[in-house]
Chains A and B, each alone.
Chain A
Amino acid sequence: MSVTLPAGSGRMAGVVRRQGALAVLLAVVVVSLALFPGFRSLDNAGTILVAAAPPMLIALGMTFVIITGGIDLSVGSLYVLGGVVAAWASPYGFVAALAAPLLLCGAIGVLNGVLISRTGMAPFIVTLAALLGARGLMRSISDEGSTTYLVENDAFHRLGTGSLLGVGIQVWLTAVLVALGVVLLNRTRFGHAVQAIGGSEDAAALMGLPVRRIKVGVYLLSGLLAGLAGAINAAKLGSGVTVLGGGMELDAIAAVVIGGTLLTGGSGSIAGTVAGVLLLGVLQNLINQNGDVNSNWQQVISGAFLAAVVVAQTYLARARRTRSP
């Protein structure tokens, strides 16, 4: 059983958890700036941000899902599906290239939400089925992976490759959506309901919150963001790549957890998730930079980091909690 923090009394512990990821991120960045000359350039910072944009979008949606106490395993498949559908629709115009993945992935998100909230089936299982279903759909659209659709729309292509004030358009877009996500979670009734449901679903229902609708909304959000992330990736690469997005969902969960959001729901922060995604991104960047480090070590180091950060957070939160009653 993980440390479950009651709202209010766990505020201190919550701050520790949230700032834990940020502190580790800053430490890693400072050390890297000192040790690795290649890390210091502005170009490299841009590379990190551009690479982090799609995982960031997926982790943003995942944060909402996890705060309700759920989980969404389908986002990796939706990411790939979104990319293929966006490329497939791109000859029909910019709007089509963006709308097609959002409609399809959003619909699958709604299906997840409806199944979870109406039938009481575990989110893990429903979204595992969606993982398989979306992958199947992606393969059938791409003729079992043998057809790669090219992005044939310059405006859409620019969404992934263009830049504004020296910063990639997709980074701007991601930043805006993250900011909107923060407002949505902390300043709206929807966001408050999301947190209430994660704290206690029964209590939220007794308070008269539309629990089912909120849950559907959360999985819709997750599906939309995964589809958008896929579309942006397709725009960047110029084609819808059918290689499985295996592990994207688990990377996103790892980032959210490193960011201090509890998998038991009820408590979490988007700022923490941003720090979690960037931390994993910086690690990857460092390993890519150092040619003498085998790229397989990247997984090992990411895994070790995940374990270390999560264990440290757990102990810190526990220590703080026992000290301040």
Chain B
Amino acid sequence: MTTEALARPRLFTTAWLPRYGVYAAILLLIAYNIAFTPYFLTLSNLRIQLIQAAPVVIVAMGMALVIGTEGIDLSVGSVMALAAALIPLYLGYGVIAAILVSLLAGVAVGLANGLLVAKVGLQPIVATLALFVGGRGLAVVISGGQLKDVRNEDFLYLGSGDLLQIPVLVWIAALLVAVVGFTVRRTVFGRRLLAIGGNRPAAELAGLPVKRVLIGVYVLCAVLASIAGLLSVSRIQSSDASAVGLLIELSAITAVVVGGTPLTGGRVRVLGTVAGALLMQLVVATMIKHDLPPSTTEMVQAVIILVAVYVARERRTR
């Protein structure tokens, strides 16, 4: 901010837009819907919106961490598919076993990504591209390419049940958001992560365990994606490895970027990412309610992404 700007505070500025624009957009969209969309302000509708946004929010949390290190993770959809494929195979051994196995699959993929990025020195987009390509194929191979119904009541509670009249899925997403927010803001790991994203050579010179932190970040991202995968199975009550998490990497990256996290790393906006995911969900819901076709929705989403990034860009150059 220049001294001139300090001396003469302007009443109408756009300086708040990069940081709070996404919240303003959500409020505007909600206001519009309350005014013009019948049945928008009903409990069942709000529930549906939150349930539909939850998997993207969870995946986007991990993506935000990775992007904070100036990385990117294209493999999250494949990880969801892997987790989803493993659930019906291991539910026979109990709910906990099935969940643990799919989380372990996430850990394995995250380790592979992290090692390729941190130790081999591949660019994140290339390192995660390999598992983007291969991971879903593996998931389909594991599941035998078949859609499998899941009937275990305990497991279905996670994605389809309610706690205090709020879907368990939403509680879990909120909890994970809190955990990621705490990690970024309050832990040494979070500070190191941001330092690496901000200036990796400096972080290396400062003696930070750069490789370990990077591996940790990719493992976290993959584990969050596998949680999203198993929750999707629980919500849909069936597992289809060729469909779960398809194109979710694009939705997650969009949520992160619209939420104000720069792709250049060094900063993570956790709540902004949640807002970004909710905004995209609301846009889709609004257009569906007004009988606008998916094609229009996609074009509007494209414009929103460009506007959000353009606005954020102005702030950085100022």
Chain A residues packing against B (C-beta within 8 Å): 1-3, 71, 115, 119-122, 124-126, 128-133, 135-140, 144, 246-247, 250-251, 253-254, 257, 263-264, 294, 296-304, 306-307, 310-311, 314-315, 318
Contact = CB atoms under 8 A, between A and B. Distances in A.
Residue of A120, A251, A296, A318 ringed by the most chain B CB atoms within 10 A: A296
Contact of B295 (A71, A137, A298, A311): A137
Closest 8 CB pairs of A and B: A303-B134, A299-B137, A136-B298, A139-B295, A133-B302, A307-B130, A140-B295, A136-B299
Contacts of A246: 246-247
A119 B313 contact: yes
A135 B130 contact: no
Given A296-B145, A299-B134, A136 B297 contact: yes
A139 to B, nearest CB: 4
A307 to B, nearest CB: 4
B269 to A, nearest CB: 15
Contacts of B134: 299-304, 306-307
Contact of B302 (A122, A130, A140): A130
B133 A250 contact: yes
Contact of A121 (B138, B140, B303, B306): B306
Contacts of B135: 303
A140 B293 contact: yes
Interface in B144-202: 145, 200
A224 to B, nearest CB: 20
19 contacts: A1-B200, A2-B123, A121-B306, A124-B72, A125-B305, A133-B299, A136-B298, A138-B295, A140-B293, A140-B296, A247-B133, A253-B125, A257-B126, A264-B123, A300-B137, A303-B132, A304-B130, A306-B133, A314-B122
Contacts of B116: 307, 311
B20 interface: no
Given A300-B134, A306-B129, A311-B116, A139 B293 contact: yes
B244 interface: no
A310 B121 CA distance: 10
Contacts of A144: 293-295
B290 to A, nearest CB: 15
Contact of A296 (B122, B123, B141, B293): B141
Contact of A122 (B120, B126, B263, B317): B263
A142 to B, nearest CB: 9
Nearest to A294: B141
Contacts of B257: 125
Contact of B294 (A2, A122, A139, A300): A139
Q: Would you call the interface of chain A mostly helix, strand, loop, or mixed?
A: helix
Contacts of A1: 121, 200
Contacts of B121: 1-3, 314, 318
A247 B74 CA distance: 11
Nearest to A138: B295
Q: Would you call the interface of chain B mostly helix, strand, loop, or mixed?
A: helix
Contacts of A257: 126, 129
A302 B145 contact: no
B101 interface: no
Contacts of B299: 132-133, 136-137, 140
A115 B303 CA distance: 12
B309 A121 contact: yes
Contacts of A247: 133
A68 to B, nearest CB: 16
Residue of A124, A257, A300, A314 ringed by the most chain B CB atoms within 10 A: A300
B298 A133 contact: yes
Nearest to B70: A1
Nearest to B305: A129
Contacts of B305: 125, 128-129, 132
B275 interface: no
Contacts of B235: none
B254 interface: yes
Nearest to B304: A129
A298 B257 CA distance: 33
B125 A136 contact: no
A135 B297 CA distance: 10
Given A254-B133, A303-B130, A129 B122 contact: no
B93 to A, nearest CB: 25
A306 B130 contact: yes
A297 B139 CA distance: 10
Contacts of B145: 294, 296
B286 to A, nearest CB: 16
Contacts of A300: 134, 137-138, 141
Contacts of A121: 306, 309-310, 313
Given A253-B129, A303-B130, A122 B309 contact: yes
A107 to B, nearest CB: 15
B71 to A, nearest CB: 11
B130 A132 contact: no
Interface in B274-318: 293-299, 301-303, 305-306, 309-310, 313, 317
